[in-house]
Structure 1
């Protein structure tokens, strides 16, 4: 039986199907230090005053490149069986192009061996936003797609004899819209042209990454990619807000889902895309993934914004909804909405929840406990796993759930303030302190059910 077939199988006692992956997700540029790697666009962005909320940089982070064994021991001890973690593009290609850095490849080689030695299945992610600074123009430059193919080939050749699942790209919508339309993330641009170029060139790089991996991986390897599809609702029931929601849905969701599954881009992008599209691009982008990764955190509200590309941006959630400490609405039912969209609009592909999680601060009383108490995170995960189970009962083939994230990390423009980890990291000492959620999620993994 295929994994998709197993994912569809019902479990009458409320458990998950055999072979379900219970894991954590992480990104190299958020947990590794800058030691031994090249400069990335996020180093450049963090060097600009006022860009990072707490004034921090990714220079130290968690030093995971030296302390990964400690982190993997925490995972294995809890009972988690899978780890989706990116390599650092700027570590493997500090000059932006080949040959790949030997020391960097050795590092990720050792990490994969360390995972397997602990019974943890490695799910390498090719890159998580850390475009090397040496690649002039970044995602504005079409040539970046070829450089991404070089990254994919190098990682596939080195890790493909042991890793069986590869994730090609991560959250292109965030990169294109937040970094190139709103200028809130690196590289800090804000225009229609920048957004559309980043949108198309990421899609193209993703397709080239699939091609490169398929050319070097052994039979049986499974390839997917990760999008952060979120439901988009109008802020108010007005024609203007409904039009804004449709525009934001296109910019955030359909611009990446539609071409991946062989459809044209949404019509609103046609004029802006005309100078960028070349014959054969859409065939490359339609990569036919073996699975689709979904990163789910919340639902979005949209409002008109004439100053933003395509005239729509985010609106705050209703005051009636509970929120995380980042102000994100807690809406587990949105996960069910997304999975229904995949069933009804995109052929019901196999889904892996490659990120799901919430940022909550530790209070003084929680910090006195061992493990650190984080009941709100446990409640958040429990509610979203319930939505996952309901979607599976309705026919969604979901084969795994990965929590964002294993350890507290550097959360991009938010710095170190948001804490998403199943494990707390003391910033002054980098000491790891497990939270209750690590043991709880591990107990779910061991039982293959929500406990």
Structure 2
């Protein structure tokens, strides 16, 4: 069980569980269009064991059981994502009524169970037809995304407790267009620089579209790492500055200050869209809350063999999860305090935090330590209003396929049987204890 008590976090603090559409839904027979993860997963060598999300956790059919798990666990909210290609199969144009009907059932099911719906519009499942037109490399995606956001706003907006535009713009752009680890799998600096800007431009366009359709309580979810230098050497300090700019300051600075870090624009200027500066007012549209996903830290060392970006990440001495990510609860405290002091006074939500691990006793300890880190951030003045465990279910973990298990509920993929783990019971024990 956890060593913290629910009441320590404040009377209106939201505890929730989080998932993403492609990772759990399946249900690709209702008129849903193909997305970039369908084709990325079908390409040999991209995903462990050639796993794909065709069935995943069959949440499309089993959502009542999954919502019951969230309710019975004592959680207040459910952070889920809406699949763009399920609503608009080609990304623009014709709307798929069956997709609208599914999310009607899902959202109404949350409300019937007393759960607050926290929706994310984009969690990486770009319609393939839009990738054919350049995807995140094409500035037109701002308009495409705005039209999609307007549809969501019109149809679901009055039932949503909170709405995020984009999940993890670092992953959408850098991980997917420079490092090539996620769909669409580019390893190209020009592609990446354009995606880094266009994903935030589209976010701003989406905010405008949501507000024009009466949607309240809008935010964005950035994934942050606790960047640190590998040593006290001057070169490693410089490496840390560049790494931190790439992972954290580009997205935080763009969204909350309307400016990108000069240490990075000086490198990327030749690859960025012409006159990108004119978009910064849209990029930095006012928001109502800020979502932060946190998993680990990054240690940076100088590497002169890489002329464009002379940095590399090195392994640290801390214990890791089964993906090799260091477990560093203090990093969550530090980031929450940093964002609240340097970037925004908006309410903060930890929208993802969790551990890939078979040994669930380690997961219980991980959550306990990170919940204490949230309390420490509050003590230091950060206005943290909620915490979402990643993830409700074992699921399709992108390039790791089904080999990685983040869930607080075990899923037997052959039978689709759900079995709550000790970490689920730890949350249940804390959340039902209202002392």
**TM-score normalised by structure 1 residue count:** 0.90
Deviates more, 1:184-193 or 1:399-408: 184-193
Confirm whether residue 56 of structure 1 aligns to residue 51 of structure 2.
yes
Aligned-residue offset at 1:238: 2.5
Aligned-residue offset at 1:443: 2.5
Aligned-residue offset at 1:289: 1.2
- Note if contact 2:340-2:383 (Cα within 8 Å) is conserved in structure 1: no
Number of aligned residue pairs: give it: 424
Aligned to 2:364: 378
- Note if contact 1:16-1:448 (Cα within 8 Å) is conserved in structure 2: no
Specify the SS of the correspondent of 1:126. Answer: strand
Matches within 5 A, 1:144-223: 144-217=141-214, 221-223=216-218
Specify the SS of the correspondent of 2:349. Answer: strand
With over 3 angstroms needed to count, the CA separation of the structure-2 counterparts of 1:279 and 1:99, relative to structure 1, is: farther
Instruction: List gaps (5 residues or longer) in structure 1.
Output: 1-10, 363-373
Aligned to 1:314: 313
Aligned-residue offset at 1:52: 0.5
**Within 2, Cα distance between the matches of 1:308 and 1:424?**
45
Matches within 5 A, 1:203-282: 203-217=200-214, 221-267=216-262, 268-270=264-266, 271-272=269-270, 275-278=273-276, 280-282=278-280
Aligned-residue offset at 1:100: 2.6
Q: 2:95 aligns with which of 93, 100, 105?
A: 100
Aligned to 2:11: 18
With over 3 angstroms needed to count, the CA separation of the structure-2 counterparts of 1:96 and 1:121, relative to structure 1, is: same
Specify the SS of the correspondent of 1:433. Answer: strand
Aligned to 1:406: 392
Q: 1:86 aligns with which of 81, 85, 93?
A: 81
Specify the SS of the correspondent of 1:174. Answer: helix
**Within 1, Cα distance between the matches of 2:77 and 2:429?**
14
**Within 1, Cα distance between the matches of 2:10 and 2:331?**
23
**Within 2, Cα distance between the matches of 1:151 and 1:314?**
37
- Note if contact 1:89-1:132 (Cα within 8 Å) is conserved in structure 2: yes
Structure 1 residue runs of 4 or more that deviate by more than 4 Å after TM superposition:
11-14, 305-309
Specify the SS of the correspondent of 1:186. Answer: coil
Specify the SS of the correspondent of 1:392. Answer: helix
Confirm whether residue 27 of structure 1 aligns to residue 20 of structure 2.
yes
**Within 2, Cα distance between the matches of 1:19 and 1:97?**
39
Q: Spell out, residue by residue over 1:268-308, the C-alpha distance to the aligned partner (whole angstroms, 9 max, x if none).
A: 31523653434641110112211100001111112345548
- Note if contact 1:196-1:272 (Cα within 8 Å) is conserved in structure 2: no
- Note if contact 2:5-2:430 (Cα within 8 Å) is conserved in structure 1: no
Aligned-residue offset at 1:251: 1.1
Question: What is the root-mean-square deviation in Å for CA atoms of aligned residues?
Answer: 1.9
Specify the SS of the correspondent of 2:37. Answer: helix
Q: Spell out, residue by residue over 1:208-245, the C-alpha distance to the aligned partner (whole angstroms, 9 max, x if none).
A: 11000001125xx2111100111111223333322222
- Note if contact 1:43-1:57 (Cα within 8 Å) is conserved in structure 2: yes
Aligned-residue offset at 1:175: 2.0
Aligned to 2:426: 440
**Within 1, Cα distance between the matches of 2:312 and 2:67?**
39
- Note if contact 2:25-2:57 (Cα within 8 Å) is conserved in structure 1: yes
Q: Spell out, residue by residue over 1:234-268, the C-alpha distance to the aligned partner (whole angstroms, 9 max, x if none).
A: 22333332222211111111111112113321113
Aligned to 1:284: 282
With over 3 angstroms needed to count, the CA separation of the structure-2 counterparts of 1:134 and 1:340, relative to structure 1, is: same
Q: 2:328 aligns with which of 317, 327, 331?
A: 331
Deviates more, 1:352-361 or 1:297-306: 297-306
Specify the SS of the correspondent of 2:9. Answer: coil
**TM-score normalised by structure 2 residue count:** 0.93
Q: Spell out, residue by residue over 1:332-377, the C-alpha distance to the aligned partner (whole angstroms, 9 max, x if none).
A: 0000110121122113321001001001115xxxxxxxxxxx2211
Instruction: List gaps (5 residues or longer) in structure 2.
Output: none
Specify the SS of the correspondent of 1:159. Answer: helix
